[in-house]
Amino acid sequence: MIPACGVAAAFPAVFVRAASGADDRLQKGMVSFTFDDGIVSAHQTAFPVLKSRGQAATAAIVAGKIGANDDYMNARQLRELERNGWEIASHGLTHTRPTQIPLTFEQEPMPACKRAW
C-alpha cells in the first residue's frame, strides 16, 4: 500500500499472471513502479523515496550497460535494490530497438544478461 495515495502496488509479473487468471492478488486501482534501462537516478532518487514509504519497484536493466558510465547503475547498486525487495528485470543485453532487429535474429540470450551482474 502506498499510504500517500491510498493505492496498492505490485510487480509487473502480478499483472501478467492476473491477466491469465494465475494470480488473484490484483486489486482495482493497483499500480506498478518500473524504472527503465538501469539509469542511476532510479537508485539515487526513486529508491530512497520509495524505501521511506516501504515500497519496492522494478528496475528493468540493460545488462550490457551495467556500470558502463555514471548514467547507469553498477552491480553494487543493483544488489542493494534487490536486497531491499526490488525486482531486477532484464531489458535485454543491448537495448536494441525492435525495428532494428532483423527478422532472422534470435532473441538476445538471457544467460548473457543474467551473467552481467
Beta bridge partners of 89: 60
Judged by beta carbon, residue 36 or residue 71, the one nearer Zn ion is 36
Stretch that binds Zn ion, among 1-9, 15-23, 32-40, 73-81 (CB under 5 A): 32-40
Which residues neighbour 43 within 8 Å (Cβ) at sequence distance 6 or greater?
73, 77, 80, 81
What is the pattern of x (binds Zn ion, CB under 5 A) and - over residues 93-112?
A: --------------------
Judged by beta carbon, residue 36 or residue 80, the one nearer Zn ion is 36
Per CB under 5 A, contacts with Zn ion among 35-54 are: 36-37
E strand spans, the chain: 34-37, 58-61, 87-90
Which residues neighbour 102 within 8 Å (Cβ) at sequence distance 6 or greater?
none
Q: What's the closest the beta carbon of residue 24 comes to Zn ion, in angstroms?
A: 30
Size of the site for Zn ion (CB under 5 A): 2
Judged by beta carbon, residue 11 or residue 35, the one nearer Zn ion is 35
> Which is it for strands 34-37 and 87-90: parallel, antiparallel or unpaired?
unpaired
**Cell numbers at residue 22, please?**
494465475
Q: What is the binding site for Zn ion (CB under 5 A)? A: 36-37
